[in-house]
Amino acid sequence: MAYTPGLKVKREIVLQKTRRLPIPGEVLVSKGDKVGFETIVARTKVPGDVETIRASQILGIEADDVEELGQYLLKKVGDRVGKGEIVAKRISFFGLSKAFVESPVEGTIEHVSDITGQVTIREDPVPVEVKAYIPGRIVDVIQKEGVVVETTASFIQGIFGIGGETHGQVRMAVKSPEDSLTADMLDSSDKGKILIGGAMVTGDTLKKAVDIGVKGIVSGGVEDKDLRDLLGYEIGVAITGQEESTVTLIITEGFGKMRMSGKTFELLKSCEGIEAALNGATQIRAGVIRPEIIVPRGKTSAGESRDDRAVFSKGMQPGMMVRVIAEPFFGAIGTILSLPVELQDVESESAVRILEVQLEDGRKAVVPRANVEIIEL
């Protein structure tokens, strides 16, 4: 193991977001257009669900005679049908035996199988819209698929989140990154806002935030049990963003009481009063996605822009700033002193590649390389 790229905490960068439809559709804006949080940039219709009916079975057609189904159909492929409408009927024995096939849904006949004797009905398409999510300018249009929105913004990645895209005005709800965000710090004026906590947000606070209609909470940490209480279930694999919770929660450090990193806290403080976009969606496996806070700065000048790949491809070097991400120095920040090549034993007796680090509080520590993340300067 060698190193983990740190999470991004950028005061000002030019940020591009691709906003794409799940399937091709119509793009509603043009290159150069200005868009806001709620601007609908593209829309489409996703094909409806399908329902199949065992028509030949209902009509009493023998398995070997399935191809006869066609002669009993009242509708053909492409015809619209209403819920309960008769699609096929079979009258035999001079009218003594009648069998009818009703459509269970409203939709269109998509397929009639002369092999299985089934009729497939597709429900009406479901409209899907994609919003700009961040205010900015359209810099590219992907034909029939979506757009690229560009803005200059402060950009902060969290380590884990729940809840989808939202936006609201930033309010610092605590005074310092060590503080916990407690229920008494919230009132009805926080409706629609994004609240910034410190080291921890309590379970009561989360409940109250939902009741008030708070849009988002950003905190250093949260107790796992409080998260479970909020969701009503246990998260198994870390793929989130689709939760039904009305409040989007982003934690920046980890689970438990975790002082928010000073840099993150100060940057958020400078955003107080500004409308920010928030997305809790997290995916920790193939195609890592981290939750994000985007605070548009309303400028058009180019901000920081750097090829992260070039930075991290170099790997760790003495002199680099790192943050420890596991016990016993969890959260401590320091400078790499050396990177010995040989494996070394740590307290758990694991033989690992380590680094020596000069921590900010003056201590020197030996830490497995896997247990630090590089901090971008």
Q: Which residues bind another protein (CB under 8 A)?
A: 1-5, 49-52, 63, 66, 110-111, 113, 115-116, 118, 120, 159-160, 223-225, 234-238, 254-256, 282, 284-288, 307-309, 312-313, 315, 325-328, 341, 345-352, 367-368, 370-371, 373
> What single-letter amino acid sits at 31?
K
> Of 44, 71, 42, 43, nearest to 55 (Cα)?
71
| Smaller CB separation from another protein, 176 or 242 | 242
Q: Shortest gap between Cβ of 95 and another protein (angstroms)?
A: 30
Spacing of C-alpha 207 from chain mean position: 21
As a whole number of Å, the CA-based R_g of the chain is 28
Q: Shortest gap between Cβ of 131 and another protein (angstroms)?
A: 22
Q: Shortest gap between Cβ of 233 and another protein (angstroms)?
A: 9
Q: Shortest gap between Cβ of 6 and another protein (angstroms)?
A: 11
| Smaller CB separation from another protein, 32 or 236 | 236
CB atoms within 10 A of CB 252: 28
| Smaller CB separation from another protein, 51 or 124 | 51
The DSSP bridge pattern shows strands 344-345 and 86-92 to be: unpaired
| Smaller CB separation from another protein, 190 or 243 | 243
Q: Shortest gap between Cβ of 201 and another protein (angstroms)?
A: 14
The CA-to-CA distance between both ends of the chain, in Å, stands at 23
Q: Shortest gap between Cβ of 292 and another protein (angstroms)?
A: 13
The DSSP bridge pattern shows strands 146-157 and 136-142 to be: antiparallel
Q: Shortest gap between Cβ of 274 and another protein (angstroms)?
A: 27
Cis bond before residue 24 (omega within 30° of 0):
no
Q: Give 241-246 contacts, CB < 8 A, sequence gap 24+.
A: 241/161, 241/162, 241/163, 241/164, 241/279, 241/280, 241/281, 241/282, 241/283, 241/289, 242/164, 243/162, 243/163, 243/164, 243/280, 245/162, 245/163, 245/210, 246/163, 246/210, 246/213
Residue 43 CB-half CA count within 13 A: 8
Q: Shortest gap between Cβ of 331 and another protein (angstroms)?
A: 11
| Smaller CB separation from another protein, 193 or 290 | 290
Phi, psi torsion values for 251, nearest 5 degrees: -105, 140
| Smaller CB separation from another protein, 79 or 272 | 79
Tokens for 20, please give them. 């794409």
> What single-letter amino acid sits at 185?
M
CB atoms within 10 A of CB 181: 25
| Smaller CB separation from another protein, 298 or 340 | 340
| Smaller CB separation from another protein, 38 or 361 | 361
| Smaller CB separation from another protein, 120 or 169 | 120
CA–CA dist 326, 323 (Å, integer): 9
CA–CA dist 257, 266 (Å, integer): 19
Q: Shortest gap between Cβ of 192 and another protein (angstroms)?
A: 28
